[in-house]
Amino acid sequence: MGAAMKFGISTFVTDDGIDPVSLARAVEELGFGQVALLLPTKPLDESLRLLDKLAAHVADYRG
């Protein structure tokens, strides 16, 4: 028979929800193959603006 198909979980992450590490552990314990953390494009929390700067640096690095 062929290889088994693996499924993952994707979710938005905010400061009001579960922390990413706990989420990843729970996803793994439930048997899923991966977790994708989606970030809001317009952060409500000003502290999340740091991610905008990080994304800009990554874009510059990639050229």
pLDDT tens string 11-53: 887 777 788 888 888 988 998 888 888 876 665 666 667 777 7
The residue length of the chain stands at 63
- pLDDT, greater one: 15 or 7: 7
The pLDDT assigned to 2 comes to 67
Measured between alpha carbons, how far is 6 from 63 in angstroms, rounded to an integer? 33
Domain ranges of the chain: 8-62
Backbone phi, psi, residue 5, to 5°: -80, 135
Answer whether 14's CB lies under 8 Å from 43's CB: no
pTM above 0.85?
no
The pLDDT assigned to 29 comes to 92
Mean pLDDT of 1-10: 77
